[in-house]
Amino acid sequence: MGLYPAKFIAELKMRKIRWFATVTTVSEALAAEKAGANAIIAQGMEAGGHRGAFAASQANNMVGLFSLLPAVVDAVKIPVIATGGISDDRGMAASLILGASGVQIGTGFLRAPEAAIASAWSDAIDRAAPEDTVASRVFSGRLGRSLRTEYTNAATSPLAPDPAPYPIQRNLTQKMRDEAIESNDLTKIQAWAGQSSGLARAIPAKEIVANL
């Protein structure tokens, strides 16, 4: 969620370690390229999990992938990897047409047996429509997209207190989240999920890759 310090980047370069920088805006992409990133991961607002915005205060700048991707491709000279709401071959093909050198898929693999997520979480992903996810700070203090649950509804209501900053909020919700996983209780699971959740399939990862 941001740029490495210049001294750290120099060390990466010396050790020939490639650095892929996640960005959510064109300005972040340009900054990452200037800092020495080997590739850009353009993350659309559709993505599940944490927003890769450099500054927490800018995470609400919600740009969709198919607006962000071609703009970033046109702005930088290094390879661009598309991510956010890509769960099948159609999304992958569309990303490549818009100039991506590759794609990164998250939620599309969560129902694979290798992911071993709670069954309640997997089943909810299968049922989810795009509008069944919400971007909030209520799990960790940083903006992230998850399934709508009783907890997210309550914690984002007008009467709820503001979440604590990251990572304090994450520590405050740790026990609740751990117990929810153990009891398979979706209402309190940190159920990260992107807006294309319903396209995820409960098949082995190698079959998902083969289909792509």
User: Can you give the residue range of the structural domain that contains 14?
Assistant: 6-105
Select from 9, 13, 208, 203 the least CA-distant residue to 113.
203
Residue 206 lies in a domain: no
CATH number at residue 92: 3.20.20.70
Q: Which helix (H) or strand (E) holds 144?
A: strand 144-147
The confidence score (pLDDT) of residue 83 equals 98
Report the alpha-carbon distance of residue 114 to residue 206 in Å, rounded: 10
Please give the model's pTM, rounded to 2 decimal places. Answer: 0.95
Per-10-residue mean pLDDT of the chain, 212 residues long, equals 94 97 98 98 98 92 97 98 97 98 98 98 97 98 97 97 96 98 98 98 97 94
Query: 157 by DSSP, 3-state: which?
Result: coil
Same domain, 149 and 66: no
The confidence score (pLDDT) of residue 174 equals 98
Out of 71, 105, 139, a domain closes at: 105
Same domain, 27 and 101: yes
Out of 86, 105, 124, a domain closes at: 105
Counted domains in the chain:
2
Task: Collect all residues with Cβ–Cβ distance below 8 Å to 78 and sequence separation of at least 6.
Answer: 33, 37, 38, 39, 40
Beta partners for 42? 23, 82
Report the alpha-carbon distance of residue 48 to residue 8 in Å, rounded: 28
